[in-house]
Amino acid sequence: MEIRSVGVVGAGQMGNGIAHVMALAGYEVCLNDIDQGALDKALALITRNLDRQVSREKISAAERDTALARIRTSLSLRDVAQTDLVIEAATEREEVKHKIFEALLPDLKPETILTSNTSSISITRLASRTDRPERFMGFHFMNPVPVMQLVELIRGIATDKDTYESCLSVVERLGKTAASAEDFPAFIVNRILMPMINEAVYTLYEGVGNVNSIDQSMKLGANHPMGPLELADFIGLDTCLAIMNVLHEGLADTKYRPCPLLTKYVEAGWLGRKTQRGFYDYRGEVPVPTR
């Protein structure tokens, strides 16, 4: 089917970026959240990011204005349900995602495709609780969405060919590249990335190096644009821990055991940039290592 309208559930870090790129690509977008303040904040951020693209001559002022006009916000999931493609981008907690899809079901159009932006949770399991497992798949964007070029497309065991091809056409229209992944814990990117971050935390935990030396070593020694601890702060330590738990539980292999220090930071509420403290303290002018 041809997709003309997109519903995005969740107006946080990922949701606002998805709404941004979808509107810029010509889709009518309905951005949903349970909090009006989050919707207002998301719209303001989308506007700033589009303004930045205009200032860098990536898009024209007219393209910015047209994209903004395509985005409407709503507190009601009924409005989202009437779109052609729904992308759930809520918090990385499976029970929350199940509740969202269950609430959407009564008002969905028969042809609507359901997708999740989950970075690790089983697509097959999410799809099994809906009335359309064949029209359900993973649609995993990378952060920050307007900048990153990759989208992981994850097929559940029941996902049909038409659903995959419809989602692939959306990715191509966005000007991004799709990586096709099978439905196993954490898919491709996070299956490889998160154990590296977790190992960096173990290296810190065991006193092999401090925050600065670990990040410098990977930036200068492996040519990574960001050190693993800096990247963990950017992603969110709670998200990193959630993905490591999915890997550990889903694959039953001790090599995926989350580092106790990562758990301790999350328990302290030191989640990285979003809380101003993680492996770095961001409350001053320059980030300062916390270890």
Residues belonging to the active site: 119, 140, 152, 190
Question: What CA–CA distance (Å, rounded) separates 123 from 235?
Answer: 21
209 marked ligand binding residue: no
36 marked ligand binding residue: no
278 marked ligand binding residue: no
12 marked ligand binding residue: yes
Question: What CA–CA distance (Å, rounded) separates 177 from 141?
Answer: 10
44 marked ligand binding residue: no
143 marked ligand binding residue: yes
**Of 186, 209, 198, residue with least CA distance to 231:** 198
218 marked ligand binding residue: no
Distances from the Cα of 196 to the Cα of 57, 192, 232, 259, angstroms: 36, 7, 10, 11
11 marked ligand binding residue: yes
| Cis peptide bond upstream of 144, omega within 30 | yes
13 marked ligand binding residue: yes
Whether 163 contacts 137, CB under 8 Å: yes
Question: What CA–CA distance (Å, rounded) separates 178 from 106?
Answer: 31
Annotated binding site: 10-15, 33, 92, 97, 119, 143, 274
Annotated binding site for NAD(+): 10-15, 33, 92, 97, 119, 143, 274
